[in-house]
Chains A and B, each alone.
Chain A
């Protein structure tokens, strides 16, 4: 962090507001340049907004509206996933999607999806019901037809956000969490500084990647007026023992309104059922309700009869940052040194590398000093080995005997992995943040067995009393003072 100039200010070439997948990807891209960059995030960790609760599909773009910026950025990103995820120590697999039609009407919808895929330059093939079942035997025998989109992938989007932020931090980006932006200092038609709860930052350029709060940030900066609202998605997360049997993402047929309900195997083997897509007016609303979950489950079971409600290990919701139009990525029309990366509603994970490149070039166009590449920047994070599924556990224990201490038995998270997470440049500051990095307490018993042990370990690393350990935000502590 550049030293403060004696007036409580620090100087940056670019300040990125918002540490979701979009802001972190931008910080990552800028970290390969010689520009001095800060990322400011309101929450206690990166990736606590929309980026925390998405489906983790890295779509190849078949279902994007052709000719849009969204389709362009998603299709540009798609070929990059193998290399990107390897460099960010992020689990990823290109397993492909089956969009399954269960009725004649849905079968017509498949035609539309096929045409769209062709126009977007995405590979796809039309299959009969039995051909679809040959690719994924879990698909309902009543499936009439399907479109197979082989280049879609699944990504651990929590780890992706953390990977972007961690590599950025190692390359010198100051990642300031718990630092909500409260205002801007203006100088004529430009922003001169960013006021945060953790101090003021002098900024030559500002990127607005504040997700659902992007409209408010723009207003605070005196920039363009636009409205953002939450579009909620609810999920059931099912056990690894079933999810591990899936070979494909299985979805319904997308309509004008929604991509529909999916059964999505996750990179850690569990299975997501969802999400719904309902506009609401409460940005903080992350509650699930049983009627909606019943509907999600029924829709999923129609596609895959083998899903069982009693395999649910977690119920949760998240909000997409919706706006009209979507993908408001570009310079502000009033404030010369403000670039928006907002309204990235439904595909922000899938488009993140190309969005970051676009914002980088927009900043360069606006005159930001982001063109010189930094030769000393690291291009990849060293992968952190994990016990779960590891082919050679003996070698792990040889590396670090703490691999022999399994703390979370369901996800097989060891004391070595927890210690490594705590030693990150963007370290976990809550149980949730630790789960995002390691999966500790994120398995089928949801911490019933291990959460006390996990909190004791985290409290040692954080130098706090165990009851003070936050579950999420700092005031949401595990315990109360007795």
Chain B
């Protein structure tokens, strides 16, 4: 039977590796390379990628999965449209920090309130979202944002860590702990983040707190017929954790299909 896997990160690849001996597996990713957040050149990515190819998995890289109707997956990419009839869909599309609405941050809508992945992506290209940013969060994304912002030339970074920082931080980051972000102030650009009794003056708020599954395949955003979610929201994320999540999902798929693991 055919299994469609969306997401060619470690989780999706590990799931494909488990299923490939018995099922026909196709892996989709919107990015033209495998590895997801772990990176396409990482040794674990390269080894897993090779293994799944050897096992006969079809890799559909550069194709964005957009719709699941319970029986087939629709994906589009620069190469064209693909429709894959499948008995199960594995959603292994990773995780993202919580949005402003999910964090319940009130106030107006000034510029400068930016998700951490965006701030990091821009910083990698030499673009700074603020000179005195306040990063909200304590885990992986928060630590990474602090690094990237300082490297891109931020003058002062404050970290607002509701649960305290869990990762090593670069020197010079001012840490405020134990309060949750409540509201932003300012306009047209943000001037402060309010949290508890603190009023943190800043010209950007970088949202790096918490993790939510990043799910964007219509018809499979929540549970749906034939849909299996593969992912871990552990912070820090580890390759081992991702592999385990992939293997768990593979077992779930087999349960759904009523098939046995191939020896």
Binding site for B on A (CB under 8 A): 236-237, 239-241, 284-290, 293, 310, 312-316, 387-389, 393-394, 397, 401, 403-406, 409-410, 412, 414, 443-449, 451-453, 455, 465-467, 470-473, 475-482
Contacts and interface: CB of A to CB of B under 8 A. Distances in A.
A242 to B, nearest CB: 9
Looking at A237, A412, A481, the one whose CB has the most chain B CB atoms below 10 A away is A412
Contacts of A473: 188
Most buried by A among B109, B126, B203: B109
Nearest to A443: B216
A469 B222 CA distance: 34
Contacts of B104: 290, 293, 315
Nearest to B207: A448
Given A448-B117, A466-B127, A286 B108 contact: yes
Contact of B101 (A236, A471, A482): A236
B66 A412 contact: yes
A286 B64 CA distance: 36
B254 interface: no
Contacts of A239: 221
Contacts of B55: none
A397 B218 CA distance: 19
A343 to B, nearest CB: 25
Contacts of B112: 471, 476
B76 A404 contact: yes
Given A293-B106, A312-B102, A480-B128, A393 B76 contact: yes
21 contacts: A239-B221, A286-B109, A287-B183, A290-B106, A403-B76, A404-B77, A405-B77, A406-B64, A406-B77, A409-B30, A409-B216, A412-B218, A445-B115, A446-B99, A448-B207, A449-B96, A452-B117, A452-B125, A473-B188, A480-B204, A482-B128
Interface of B: 30, 64, 66, 74, 76-81, 96-97, 99-102, 104, 106-112, 114-115, 117-118, 121-122, 125-131, 152-153, 182-183, 187-189, 203-204, 207, 214-216, 218, 221-222
Nearest to A402: B78
Given A239-B221, A443-B216, A482-B128, A471 B76 contact: no
Contact of B115 (A236, A287, A289, A451): A451
Given A452-B118, A473-B188, A467 B127 contact: yes
Contacts of A388: 66, 218
A270 B96 CA distance: 20
A482 B153 contact: yes
A314 to B, nearest CB: 5
Given A286-B108, A479-B130, 8 more contacts: A240-B218, A287-B108, A288-B106, A312-B101, A406-B76, A451-B115, A470-B111, A480-B128
A176 to B, nearest CB: 21
B195 to A, nearest CB: 13
Contacts of B129: 478-480
A294 to B, nearest CB: 10
Nearest to A393: B81
Contact of B152 (A240, A409, A482): A482
A404 B79 contact: yes
B188 A476 contact: yes
B130 A480 contact: yes
Given A290-B182, A479-B122, A472 B107 contact: no
A389 B125 CA distance: 34
Contact of A387 (B66, B80, B107, B125): B66
A397 B79 CA distance: 9
Contact of B96 (A445, A479, A480): A445
B184 to A, nearest CB: 9
A239 B212 CA distance: 14
B102 A310 contact: yes
B30 A448 contact: no
Contacts of B30: 406, 409
A479 B101 contact: no
A448 B78 contact: no
Contact of B117 (A288, A449, A472): A449
Nearest to A459: B127
Contacts of A403: 76
Contacts of B117: 448-449, 452
Contact of B222 (A241, A293, A315): A241
Given A393-B81, A397-B81, A409-B30, A448 B99 contact: yes
B107 to A, nearest CB: 5
B242 to A, nearest CB: 18
A135 to B, nearest CB: 24
Contacts of B188: 472-473, 475-476
Contact of A447 (B115, B130, B214): B115
Given A448-B97, A467-B128, A472 B111 contact: yes
The 6 nearest A-B residue pairs measured at CB: A476-B188, A476-B111, A452-B121, A448-B115, A406-B64, A471-B111
Give the most central of A239, A293, A315: most B CB within 10 Å. Answer: A315
Nearest to B182: A290
B111 A397 contact: no
